[in-house]
Chains A and B, each alone.
Chain A
Amino acid sequence: MSRDMMPHFELYQPDTVENAIDLAKRIGEGAWIMAGGQDSLDWFKDRAKRPRAVIEITGIQGLSGIRETAEGLEIGALTTLTEIENSALVREKYSLLSTAAGRVASPQIRNIGTLGGNLCQDARCWYYRSGVNCYRAGGNSCYADTPQGLNREHCLFGASRCVAVSPSDMGTASVALDAQMVIRGPDGERVVPAEEFFIGPATDIRRMTVLKPAEILTAVRYPKTWAGAKFYFEKVADRNTWDFALVSVASALRLEGGTIREARVVCGGVECVPRRLKAVEQLLVGSPQSDEVGRLAGTTAVRGATTLNFNHFKVPLMENLVRRAIRDA
């Protein structure tokens, strides 16, 4: 049990994205790209992840800031969550995002933590975080999905050896807003839809996103299709700050004369990725925004949920949150 004593590592503080990528490529497997450090430093202190070299990217100009573009909104990956929470532009047109940002962790962490860091953060399964050699850590077992596992926070959907959930509040909101993730790497730039950015254990049990080594998430684009829509975000956690979601919900609705014309509904804390509820969205389109429709949406949302010993409360919680995301939006 080694805890709270960071080992030595090489520290690089590049000033351009190109330099950062070059460094990461050159260093190879022992390289670790770090932004605000709110996820990384815990790993280092626990010595559970031990990079040879840390590439700290917060000194790179141009990776932070909130810009309105012809297509919508572009937010640099290094923009702090506090900036997003307080941005007048975001609050006016994409309040789902500012609301979600304001529910991440605590004010102190939001002052340092970045959008990119929140989206790229690793799983919060307490076994994995303890440094045990589970599947996600490269081992050959899962401690949470067992007859005795303590798995209150774990998933209802998409289990595949690992039952961890997506901890990213910004991920839940970003998928609901059809965000596009701008990624730069040794092979240049690629843009990936948020829904595809997050990956489950069946795709790659060692990673939470499609980011490959030496790739950096540089910005997130939010298309204007959802600007000014009806939004709802709610995160239920044990504590009202500095806590991860037990279940969260993000919805975006476009209505015409009381009828829902377009909808996005996404839940966090129920799967290893933000879970977009396409069946719910189908149900909503063409329906009135009513409690009854919300109730049906809730019932639809939890269909197929597989519970573990301690997490079956997530079924009614998810059901209720989806219902509220329609009823109370």
Chain B
Amino acid sequence: MTYKLIGKNFTPPDVVAKVTGEAKYAEDFRVEGMVFCRLLTSPMPHARVKSIDTSEALKMEGVVGVLLPEDVTPVPAPNAPILTMEPLYVGQPILAVAAVDETTAQDAIEKIKIDYEPLPFTVDPLQSLFPGGPNARSDGNVGAQGLELQTLKWTAADFAQAGESKLPLGKPAEEWAFGDLEAGFAKSKVVYDESFVTASNSHHSMEPRSALAYWQNGKCFVHGSTQSQSFVVPGLAQYIGIKPEELVYISEFCGGGFGSKGSAYPCMAIPALMAKKINKPVMMRISRAEEYYLGSARNGFQGRVKLGFGADGRLLAADLYIVQDGGCDNGFWDFRNAADALNIVYNPVAMRFRGVPVYTNTPSRTAQRGPGENQIACILEPLLDKAARDLKIDRLQIRRINSPNLQTKVGEDRRTITSAFLSEALVKGAARFKWDERKARSGQRKGSKVTGVGIGQAYHPAGFNGFDGLVRITPDGKLHIHTGVGNLGTFSHSGTARIAAEVLKCDWENCIVERGDTRKHLPWNIGQFGSNTSFTMARTNYVAAMDALTKMKEIAARDLGGKPDDYDVDGRKVFAKGNPGRSLTYAAVAQRAIELGGKYTGKELPEDINPMTRASATALAGSGLIGVAKDTLPVGGETPAFAAAFIEIELDVETGKHRIVDFLNVGDCGTVIHPMGLETQLKGGSVQGFGLACLEHIIIDPQNGLPGNVGLYQAKPPTYLDIPEQMHADWVDKPDPTSPMGTKGIGEPPMGAAASALLCAISDALGGYVFNRTPVKPDMIINAAAKRPMSHKPLQVNTQ
């Protein structure tokens, strides 16, 4: 299929402002009379605030007010509160102080006297599951979204039977299974039972989650930093305690989120609530250090997986148990995603999943690029290599023999998938990377440096459905694509807008992407997270554009005669197919739509659209031809995206340091919308993956709950000198049948594929040593190479 715009590079409309510094982020705005607020955060990992005395602070010159836990909208536990009288981690906000400047606010915070009653705390899920072990929360120790808060303890026998080096298999909070697991293991040629630990790591959003808020004429205005636009509105309105239509939300630019700013988050309501209390605009700038408390992190795992492979390398049985370190409140369900990933990427004949999400007195966790899928890739891919080695099968082949296909079913309810070209990605990558030649170099030693090669794979769901699209053609002939998606940095707001432009055959110069501000009248869209927009928003923009197209043809038929089907469009005119001279320009059609009124210009709207879309379309009514529709296109199952990465490294066994010699990441991303953007996703995700594999690891002190990484230099995301000078990216470019133009999201799997490929290469260079713990840092490699024991006990919690 040849497209006019899809598959072609373009310059996103916001990119110049970003690279010149003209773009205004939340903290760049200034409002008359604005004051600043700072947060007083908990010094203890778990405590009850018995009293707060702000009198000395309020006497200080320049201090305007304080916002206390009693002043904020209550949030039902175990979701994260806005401010709290029972802090659950070191750094949790207890109150806020507003002052004429931040220094004064911080000085005032030091004058506030708080009486804390320390409560038992834990930073280790296994300690919490042990009989009599501490609960992170006074209302329980286990829970997650979709799983009721509860207290769960395993038995002493569970622990004793497992010993120190295996994960105890106590009572799970959730489980599912399909197939005959025992028969699978019985038929297996090799069976592995491995316990593992994966780390928590920070999101490192370059823009901390600052926010500005003020109230004007009955509305609350918030400038925030979120990945998403429309999706944030209901949640943020709820935190502020107002109706969604009373909120004006502006998030035109977002300096990175990686999952941590997908939805409204509690602290972004603080300036709004403070502004209401003191009747002044309030700016809350979050510092880099605070971003490490408030910005969430990836969930860590302590897990155990039993894998049985047939002689041909086929995965016959997989039994996965994950204990998730979920931080102190309801964050994200990485543990479930990890199971789906095992299911989809390796397509086991029989499988069981068991999981327990445990709360700890550590900062909140939330989704981070490939939440669950990427951690488990780091564990499973090296184990796949172990099986390949033991079964004497090529590492490419063992992946291909287990690759997902259209018959692959997911979970106990055996859900279907809509497309899967991971095997094609492997083949394409292997050919371009010359895998057969490279693998011959595996283990070659030059001085202290050993060559290692590896392949890594990862998966993430690539889209949702059921949201709304809204487009508008104005009497100047321009196509306005109203999109409620955010500006995470992938430019998918414009990439997916081009789906609508493609349907209407518009030149990109004649398109205007309306976004980033509720006053732009935006439709109800899902957030920009989970790499879904290239699918979800392709569908919404497609149905809205199709609605516009239908209306344009109807107007042409009405004015020029014939039936709507007699007409087509060329980007400027709607014309009669048999007589192209008989035509109306887009400008004229838009003008006619206004004159005709009714559905043509948004005065009559479909019944099934969301109230937010209805309000936006109503506000736009009469300004042009309105195309608006809910995505009710057929759904064929889950739409997965995959990536397969190939890597060659040199590992210095004397220093534990590696150098990436060559690297290729191949995406199964459906139809390519924007090649340059895709390449950036594949390579950028890879850089983050190298950090996940070998560098990043949040530290929480078990003695006092103190976080150890509160700066970029401590949290250690990869630098330019830690990644290869050149990385290569490629893609399969095969359409997904349930996406109107075949597009699907690819943001997350490249990270897991890169991370696991690197880990596989390190294991390869060490002769097959499997760490079962990430990140694999130089100290672990040195110990492995020197045949010394590891510092960590096998199941020592991920934050140590």
Contact = CB atoms under 8 A, between A and B. Distances in A.
Contacts of B712: 242
Contact of A240 (B290, B703, B719, B780): B719
A3 B110 CA distance: 12
What is the predominant secondary structure among interface residues of chain A facing chain B? loop
B778 A238 contact: yes
Interface stretch (B18-26, B531-539, B572-580, B650-658): B650-658
Given A152-B791, A316-B783, A2 B110 contact: yes
A316 B787 CA distance: 10
B722 to A, nearest CB: 5
B73 to A, nearest CB: 24
Contacts of A241: 719-722
Contacts of B655: 234, 236, 317, 320-321
15 contacts: A1-B42, A1-B90, A3-B289, A3-B710, A8-B103, A130-B708, A148-B703, A152-B779, A152-B791, A236-B778, A239-B716, A240-B657, A241-B721, A317-B779, A321-B655
A111 B785 CA distance: 37
Contacts of B711: 42
B438 to A, nearest CB: 24
A310 B780 CA distance: 10
Nearest to B291: A4
A299 to B, nearest CB: 13
A313 B701 contact: no
B288 A246 contact: no
Contact of A236 (B106, B657, B785, B786): B657
A242 B107 CA distance: 31
A126 interface: yes
A70 interface: no
B714 A126 contact: yes
Interface string B698-724: 010111101010111110101111100
A314 to B, nearest CB: 8
Given A241-B719, A316-B788, A5 B657 contact: no
B719 A146 contact: no
A313 B448 CA distance: 17
B710 A239 contact: no
B722 A239 contact: yes
B91 interface: yes
A106 interface: yes
A87 interface: no
Nearest to B110: A2
A148 B721 CA distance: 33
Interface string A229-243: 000001010111111
Contact of B695 (A8, A150, A239): A239
A129 to B, nearest CB: 9
Interface in A134-167: 143, 146, 148-150, 152
B779 A150 contact: no
B656 A310 contact: no
B41 interface: yes
Given A2-B109, A106-B719, A149 B703 contact: yes
B51 interface: no
B782 interface: yes
Interface in B657-691: 657
A240 B721 contact: yes
A47 B40 CA distance: 14
Interface residues on A, range: 35 or more
A12 interface: no
Given A4-B287, A239-B695, A242-B713, A143 B779 contact: no
A5 B721 contact: no
5 nearest CB pairs, A to B? A4-B287, A240-B721, A320-B654, A313-B779, A3-B289
A132 B106 contact: no
A7 B786 contact: no
Contact of B106 (A5, A106, A143): A5
Interface in B97-112: 102-103, 105-107, 109-110
Contacts of B189: none
Interface residues of B, number: 54
A239 B718 contact: yes
Contacts of A106: 719
Give the residue among A7, A236, A316 with the most B Cβ atoms within 10 A: A316
Contact of B656 (A7, A146, A317): A317
B792 to A, nearest CB: 8
B734 interface: no
Contacts of B293: 1
B800 interface: yes
A236 B656 contact: yes
Interface in B101-147: 102-103, 105-107, 109-110
Contacts of B710: 3, 130
B768 interface: no
Contacts of A236: 655-657, 778
B38 interface: yes
Contact of A5 (B38, B701, B779): B38
Interface in A1-39: 1-8
B722 A5 contact: no
B69 interface: no
Given A1-B43, A127-B701, A143-B701, A6 B654 contact: no
A184 interface: no
A243 B719 CA distance: 10
A313 B788 contact: yes
A242 B719 contact: yes
A106 B712 CA distance: 12
B505 interface: no
Interface in A301-328: 309-314, 316-317, 320-321, 323-324
B777 interface: yes
A6 B103 contact: yes
Contacts of A243: 713, 716
A103 B785 CA distance: 25
B104 to A, nearest CB: 9
A314 B703 CA distance: 24
Interface in B70-112: 90-91, 102-103, 105-107, 109-110
Contacts of B703: 143, 146, 148-149
A149 B783 CA distance: 20
A234 B657 CA distance: 12
A320 to B, nearest CB: 4
A242 B716 CA distance: 9
B43 A143 contact: no
A182 B615 CA distance: 74
Contact of B791 (A132, A309, A316): A309
Nearest to B709: A126
Contacts of A316: 782-783, 785-786, 788
Contact of B779 (A234, A246, A323): A246
Contacts of A5: 38, 102-103, 105-106, 287
Given A238-B695, A238-B778, A321-B655, A1 B41 contact: yes
A2 B103 CA distance: 11
